[in-house]
Amino acid sequence: MKKNLNILKTKTKIELGKNSYYVFLGYLLKKISSLLGKEKYGNKILILSDKNVFPIYGETVKNAVVSKGKEVTEIILPPGEKSKNLKRVEEIIGFCASGKMSRDDTVLTLGGGVISDLGGFAASIYMRGINFISCPTSLLAQVDASIGGKTGINLPFGKNLVGSFYQPSAVYVDFNTLLTLPEREKKQGMAEIIKYGIIKSRKLFQLLETIELSGLIEKLPDIIEQCVKIKGNVVEKDEREKTGFREILNFGHTLGHAIEIAYSPRLNHGESVALGMVGESYLGWKTGLCGKDVFKKIKAVVEQFKLPVSYRNIEIDSILKYLWYDKKVKKNKLRFVLPEKIGTVKKGMELNQKEINYALKEMVRNERY
């Protein structure tokens, strides 16, 4: 019998005043008709998806729209980061305009983070904002990209350089979509999940420590719910990244981004963040913020989920160069989020290049610890 992961069904509200919305977790895609049937989502629904996801789930969503007597169209893009560009935005908004979509109609994204970032951005600028519903189908998108309202695309100069803060009207998650997600994509999501444990939840981290890879999939619904709540709480306190509270979500991402720029496409975002978390935990230990045990625990969990932990093939000098592109650089000092203990991090930890260089090279020399 086919597995059913929708064993948990919840509705979590992300409280953002007039921008509040619900995250529906554990709902079947074919039942999305009860959401899409609502008058406030208009009469025209545009589905944005990619060539991997649409053939598996597209028809189900289309039928759900048609069953409510609404008009449905779709744009299906090549999968991957390269679709996150301005030309695609032009294509999407051109399609909306030629289809005479009005502000009451809806853009529905069905796919991973690439699709929701791109579709959310297009939805935010077409007629200064049209309804946007996100159906994240990758683990990374379910725990991270679809919560928080950051939309955007890449420029040749760098990733996510153009974008907006635009909250969806709803996020709708069918856990069963994870059953077709490739292993490497699942691991990417695990990197962000481990991050949530480290920054905010000792309980989640301890749960992760007990999980065997073979039994992971059944545990994901509960884990995803915990992550959505954690990210939701952070975002509620700092919707537009103004107060600095959101900065804690960058744990593992300062080194991680630099590694991603230097080693993409060999290493993907999740793998780079995994290495980033290991490196930044080492920095936490070496600056005296946390004990060696914290570093060791973090490294062990990252390794447990078959994510990379070794810097043996990483050139420290080249990643240091890329660190300076980071948005958090202030007065020649690099700002890090470092662990204090499992479940608590400290943001705004300033380190200079010499300290980072020394610590990371020492880490590589002693890789067995």
Q: Per CB under 6 A, which region of 12-20, 22-30, 178-186, 280-288 contacts ligand ADP? A: 178-186
Give the integer Cα–Cα distance in Å for 41 and 190.
33
Interface with ligand ADP (CB under 6 A), residue from 151, 154, 169, 188: 188
Interface with ligand ADP (CB under 6 A), residue from 138, 226, 254, 281: 138
**What's the min distance (Å) between Cβ of 189 and ligand ADP?**
7
List binders of ligand ADP among 143-172 (CB under 6 A): 145
Interface with ligand ADP (CB under 6 A), residue from 140, 190, 319, 337: 140
List binders of ligand ADP among 288-317 (CB under 6 A): none
Using the minimum distance from each CB to ligand ADP, give the nearer residue, 25 or 356.
Answer: 25
Give the integer Cα–Cα distance in Å for 335 and 4.
43
State the binding string over 87-126 for ligand ADP (x if CB under 6 A, else -). Answer: ------------------------xxxxx-----------
CA geometry: angle 195, 9, 38, nearest 5 deg: 110
CB 280 within 8 A of CB 336: yes
Using the minimum distance from each CB to ligand ADP, give the nearer residue, 57 or 295.
Answer: 57
Q: Per CB under 6 A, which region of 124-132, 157-165, 179-187, 318-326 contacts ligand ADP? A: 179-187
State the binding string over 48-77 for ligand ADP (x if CB under 6 A, else -). Answer: --x-xx--x---------------------
Using the minimum distance from each CB to ligand ADP, give the nearer residue, 188 or 281.
Answer: 188
For the chain, the three-class secondary structure string (H helix, E strand, C coil) is CCCCCCCCCEEEEECCHHHCEEEEECCCHHHHHHHHCCHHHCCEEEEEEECCCHHHHHHHHHHHHHCCCCEEEEEEECCCHHHCCHHHHHHHHHHHHHCCCCCCCEEEEEECHHHHHHHHHHHHHHHHCCEEEEEECCHHHHHHHCCCCEEEEEECCEEEEEEEECCCCEEEECHHHHHHCCHHHHHHHHHHHHHHHHHHCHHHHHHHHHCCHHHHHHHHHHHHHHHHHHHHHHHHHCCCCCCCHHHHHHCCHHHHHHHHHHHCCCCCHHHHHHHHHHHHHHHHHHCCCCCHHHHHHHHHHHHHCCCCCCCCCCCHHHHHHHHCCCCCCECCEEEEEEEEECCEEEEEEEECHHHHHHHHHHHHHCCCC
* Contact between 26 and ligand ADP per CB under 6 A: no
Total site size for ligand ADP, rule CB under 6 A: 21
**What's the min distance (Å) between Cβ of 88 and ligand ADP?**
13
| Max Cα-Cα span within the chain | 65
Interface with ligand ADP (CB under 6 A), residue from 141, 267, 290, 349: 141
Using the minimum distance from each CB to ligand ADP, give the nearer residue, 118 or 294.
Answer: 118
Q: Per CB under 6 A, which region of 10-18, 37-45, 135-143, 146-154 contacts ligand ADP? A: 135-143
**What's the min distance (Å) between Cβ of 44 and ligand ADP?**
24
Instruction: Give the position of tokens 């609502």.
Output: 38
Catalytic positions are: 128, 150, 192, 231, 241, 246, 250, 253, 257, 269
**What's the min distance (Å) between Cβ of 357 and ligand ADP?**
31
**What's the min distance (Å) between Cβ of 210 and ligand ADP?**
26
Residue with nearest beta carbon to ligand ADP:
112
* Contact between 37 and ligand ADP per CB under 6 A: no
* Contact between 181 and ligand ADP per CB under 6 A: yes
Closest to 131 (Cα-Cα) out of 113, 109, 114, 112: 109
Interacting residues with ligand ADP (CB under 6 A): 50, 52-53, 56, 79-80, 111-115, 137-138, 140-141, 145, 177, 180-181, 185, 188
